[in-house]
Structure 1
Amino acid sequence: MLSVRHVDDILQRTMMWLFIAITYLICTTESSSASPEVSMDVGEIVHYHGYPYEEHEVVTEDGYYLTLQRIPHGRDNSGSTTPKPAVLLQHGLVLEGSNWVTNLPNRSLGFILADAGYDVWIGNSRGNSWSRKHKEFEFHSEKYSSYSFHEMAMYDLPATINYILQKTGQEQLYYVAYSQGTTTGFIAFSSIPELDRKIKMFFALAPITTSSNMKSPLVRVFDLPEGRTVVFDKDEILRQVTSRLFPATQRINVSNGFLQSRIDVYLSHYPDSTSLKNMLHWRQVIFPPNMLHYNQSTPPFYELENMKAPLAAWFGGKDWISAPEDVNITLPRITNVAYKKYIPEFVHFDFLWGMQVYEQIYKEILELMKKNA
């Protein structure tokens, strides 16, 4: 029988070559210079575009250290002494905080919000490349990796939100999340009433609470052997190869809506790490038609009806991960849907990197924030 570590190693190598093969097939053989942000981390990207940047460390109740990244103001509003409304941006599965700043400033929500006068905080869930420390456990230990999105919701989000509110002196914040980040929001706000009351508005991009209609080939990634360790560990070889191949993408057609010149930047920060237990929990969500707690034999739902924070949701007609059929199961269970929008042509990554994301979503987020100030 293969050991968990051996299986994990095989999985990582398989995924690495899968990504390389896909990249090779969809790229031309032309060469061009890579985007400068390919080799930059979040702070370097933020500074590169002329914005201020801070890093903060938060400790969860169960001992995980999380890195929070902050853009306290925009490029042109540094002199204002008026307290700025706080916004928390939360990434999706096998992503990290950079996904909010890897587009150009006029297309990256982190920069857009900062320029609009908001105090922008970027979360990083346990286990990604920014949040790998624990009070007792080593990163690659089974004890460290014994978590899923349930723990992210019940521990990471409360610690993160409470820290931001304490630091800014505010009573509420805006929560903007993508994919798995919406999942943790739904769980946390429906399960912890005092946290729910601290959310001024919840903006859900490609929301997921059930995935029984997922059509993506990525569903097979979740069909993994049992074990509790790290998957999609940050692999510099994978990142270097994909980011070098993708500069030759002047004619690439991964999505008709992507800014093609930025593909190398996107892939230099994707995928990021999470635990195998998290992937197994997602597998459990995909195959039954409801959301179960990990390793739980009975099927009670999370009580989404308990969430009182106003929700605005955007979902895509061509999204094979946050399938519209699943979103239409979720939204009727939410008691305070302030706004919802179906975008027929959007695929899953369009909510972060699509050419039309500002016009279709980010502009509306700004309008809703202003209306609900």
Structure 2
Amino acid sequence: MVSKVFLSILLSLNFLETIVGETRALNERELKLVKGYSLDSLLNFTELATEYGYASEQHTVTTEDDYILTMFRITRGKNCHGPIRKPPVLLMHGLLMSSDSWMDSGPKAGLAYLISDLCYDLWVPNVRGNYYSKKHVKLDPAKDYEFWDFSAIEIAYYDIPASIDYILKHTMSDKINYIGFSQGGGTFLMMNSERPEYHDKIRVGILLEPATRLTYTRSQLFRFLLDYYQANLPYLYQIGIYEALPQGGIVQEIAAFLCKNYVIADTVCRYFLSLIDSFHPGSIKTETIRVLMGHFPAGTSVKNMAYYGQALNADMFQKFDYGRSRNLQMYGTAQPPPFNLSAVTVPVVVIHGRNDFLTSPADVDWVSSNLPNVLENYYVVDPLSNHFDVTYSQFTTRFILPKIMEYLEKFSQYRDIYWDFYFP
């Protein structure tokens, strides 16, 4: 009960986001360092890559509906000493996260570092609405509510295809390998259901704790958060609140301020993370908690949060529920139609943990059983493995990376002088 009251207070502070505005200017970094913030919590993707000796690039992607997205690339890992493998790998973040989440646990555990160290050409996108992708050709996110009229469905239909096409064009490849976490896994399935032309552009999809229906979500705090946005969506729109939990906003700033302290990070902040997901002693280092709170939450739309609230009460993986009247206009049916999972013919590997309280094993097993081309539905060996472990655990190399390596190896080749001869 106390945790719900605390969360309600933080959510009410979300109303002040329009006053707070964008993320604080970079010239405040020095002041924050003096106040005890972790340096890594204040660095962006390219700065983190540079700090640890990784060569990175920043790219701009424009979607079919004119959203301007930021995508990063690590061209060669620090510990890659051989030829670069082909095809490129796309690594997609989860809900309320950004590309930074793949680096927050440091070069010995962050998947962005580890996969590039295996000599893969790694691309790390950011979907619309997080702090890297808050631009549009015509719309101003600070003034135009239309900018925020999106959910995971638009991310799937526009953002991921645009990112894939950009990578293929830039690298002159014909396919990619896709790794998606949580929302990044669910949107992969949406895209392949709605846009089957992308089947031929993907060799394998590796889905880490994919978020589809959330019927059996066990986290009460997560349910409370999503129910809040679903129940209050019309009211939030009436008072001009369209953005949810942005980086640089009240909620994120409070979390970063409190968790910069090592003792508080190791106790209060760790406990709060376990309330959202589940308790896994020793998995996430205290320093990682200090760092991740500088980048999380990264922001999304209120509508997207409401969409996941709807998923809590659905027994299918379905489209946005606008209500009976508008559903009839949008879909021709009173109820939102389910995604056609049988149409997802891309080879898929599903990796998940038994102790995940957000995307529960029951829901992940359900979606796996409805896909026609699942190569493996793999449970992490550690029985306490949970949702946040994918991005933040210090044990990534032990429990998650080997399975990722196995399937990337099967669907990749070295890009050497013999490549074009054998694989024209």
Same fold at TM > 0.5: yes
C-alpha distance in structure 2 between counterparts of 1:242 and 1:250, whole Å: 11
**76 and 289 in structure 1: CA distance in 2 versus 1, 3 angstrom threshold:** closer
Deviates most, 356-365 or 321-330? 356-365
**9 and 36 in structure 1: CA distance in 2 versus 1, 3 angstrom threshold:** closer
Task: Render the CA deviation track for 1:321-352: whole Å, top value 9, x for unaligned.
Answer: 10011112111111111122123321110111
SS of residue in 1 equivalent to 2:89: strand
For normalisation by structure 1, the TM-score amounts to 0.88
**149 and 180 in structure 1: CA distance in 2 versus 1, 3 angstrom threshold:** same
Match of 2:261 in 1: 245
Match of 1:338 in 2: 375
Match of 2:391 in 1: 352
CA RMSD of aligned residues (A): 2.3
Q: Does 1:305 align with 2:308?
A: no
Q: 1:221 aligns with which of 220, 225, 240?
A: 225
| Contact 2:87-2:121 within 8 A present in 1 as well | yes
SS of residue in 1 equivalent to 2:147: coil
C-alpha distance in structure 2 between counterparts of 1:281 and 1:87, whole Å: 28
Match of 1:280 in 2: 306
C-alpha distance in structure 1 between counterparts of 2:137 and 2:341, whole Å: 32
Gaps of 5+ in 2: 1-8, 18-34, 275-279, 328-333, 413-424
Q: 2:122 aligns with which of 115, 120, 125?
A: 120
Identity %: 28
SS of residue in 2 equivalent to 1:185: helix
Letter aligned with residue 356 of structure 1: F
**360 and 79 in structure 1: CA distance in 2 versus 1, 3 angstrom threshold:** closer
SS of residue in 2 equivalent to 1:112: helix
**178 and 246 in structure 1: CA distance in 2 versus 1, 3 angstrom threshold:** farther
* Correspondences of 1:29-68 after superposition (within 5 Å): 34-68=37-71
For normalisation by structure 2, the TM-score amounts to 0.78
**42 and 247 in structure 1: CA distance in 2 versus 1, 3 angstrom threshold:** farther
Match of 1:179 in 2: 182
Deviation at 1:10, TM superposition (A): 2.7
| Contact 1:8-1:231 within 8 A present in 2 as well | no
| Contact 2:99-2:125 within 8 A present in 1 as well | yes
Letter aligned with residue 342 of structure 1: Y
Task: Render the CA deviation track for 1:335-371: whole Å, top value 9, x for unaligned.
Answer: 1111221233211101111232221111221121112
**14 and 338 in structure 1: CA distance in 2 versus 1, 3 angstrom threshold:** farther
Deviates most, 290-299 or 339-348? 290-299
**300 and 358 in structure 1: CA distance in 2 versus 1, 3 angstrom threshold:** same
Q: 2:155 aligns with which of 139, 152, 157?
A: 152
C-alpha distance in structure 1 between counterparts of 2:223 and 2:127, whole Å: 22
**9 and 351 in structure 1: CA distance in 2 versus 1, 3 angstrom threshold:** closer
Q: 1:163 aligns with which of 145, 166, 178?
A: 166
Match of 1:363 in 2: 402
Deviation at 1:39, TM superposition (A): 1.3
C-alpha distance in structure 2 between counterparts of 1:187 and 1:270, whole Å: 25
The total of aligned residue pairs comes to 350
Task: Render the CA deviation track for 1:18-59: whole Å, top value 9, x for unaligned.
Answer: xxxxxxxxxxxxxx9654202111111111000011110011
**79 and 178 in structure 1: CA distance in 2 versus 1, 3 angstrom threshold:** closer
Match of 1:231 in 2: 244
Deviation at 1:235, TM superposition (A): 2.6
C-alpha distance in structure 2 between counterparts of 1:75 and 1:336, whole Å: 35
User: Which protein has the bigger helix share?
Assistant: 2
Match of 1:100 in 2: 102
Task: Render the CA deviation track for 1:84-113: whole Å, top value 9, x for unaligned.
Answer: 430111111111110111112121111111
